[in-house]
Amino acid sequence: MDLDAVRTFVAVVSAGRFQDAAVDLSITQQAVSKRIATLEKTLGARLFTRTARGARLTTEGEAFLPHARELLSAEARALASVRTGPLRVDVIGRRLCPATLLREFHESHPEIALEVVTLFDTAATALRTGKIDASFRAVVQLPPDLDARWVFDEPIELLCGPRHPLAGTSSVTPAELAGHRLWLPGVAPGTEWGAYYGAFATAFGLSIDAAGPNFGTEVVLDTVAESAEVATLFPTGARLLWPAEHDLRRVRIERPVPVYPHSLVWRRDNPHPALAALRSYLGQGTRANDAWHPRWDAQPSRTVPRTG
């Protein structure tokens, strides 16, 4: 089986559209279509249905997805067993702030081979299996074989359409979000970001809707733009683009400001020589004032937040 085709399949699922997957993979949209067609021919099944909103998985595509991810995991473990290779760092999304930090690190250290990946496992699982050398995650619980360094707090903001009741305000408090539908289809149970948004919802009595498949950022933005009831949450450093006619509104959340606590996590016995350079480059910043952190990240003086 062509693993590049499998990788492309997973990228389309993550991005929601062939065009966006092409951008994420740095290939043409035609190449994406060709790889998916090759994979479908190999499997003897149609994997996607194209719609105006993007690419939707068929029943066969849904069934193949977990096996596709396991194939890529097996590939990563095989490569890690025989060579050091580039420094492989995981980010939750390529349009989020940690990806920008890694681009700046690469520009500062062009001599270091760097590979940026997006995985769907928890950080602990990915680090232990050798898929990655480091990960940017919120640290919910730090096992003894892993180490971490808090890097920065990123504020979370509300994103809504022009007909939403909160569209005309410049800022809201977390408590004022109660009763509004916050749609975050990418929030998966068992992940670090799932734990973060779950804690945020519990702390302020909010309703976060994670139901439905995640067809990519564009589908979320389209839905929010058209709705008078649905809004979503995004970190302020996310690189988002939408058509001008969407007229989306960014609304600050404050008193307190919810912040996502980004940490760099790595396995203690990882010998990769570039890890030290990355940790040194990132350094350590100052934690945000008037900020809300989850209870498991409520010790701002500690370099490595731990629970359990």
Report pLDDT digits (tens) over 4-25: 999 899 989 888 889 888 877 7
227-281 pLDDT per residue, tens: 999 999 988 888 877 888 899 999 999 999 999 988 899 988 888 889 989 999 9
* Residue 79 pLDDT greater than 70, yes or no: no
More confident residue, 143 or 39: 39
What DSSP character marks residue 263? E
3-state secondary structure of 64: helix
131-164 pLDDT per residue, tens: 789 999 888 777 778 888 888 889 999 999 999 9
Cα 4 to Cα 29: distance, rounded to the nearest angstrom: 14
E strands within the chain? 48-51, 54-57, 87-90, 114-117, 134-137, 146-160, 171-172, 181-183, 207-209, 230-235, 249-253, 257-267, 291-292
CA angle 123, 159, 300 (to 5 degrees): 45
Residue linked to tokens 């509104």: 249
Q: In which band, very low, low, confident or very high, does the pLDDT at 302 lie, cut at 50, 70 and 90?
A: very low
Domains located in the chain, CATH noted = 3-81 (1.10.10.10), 87-152+262-297 (3.40.190.10), 154-258 (3.40.190.10)
* Residue 184 pLDDT greater than 60, yes or no: yes
CB 154 within 8 A of CB 235: yes
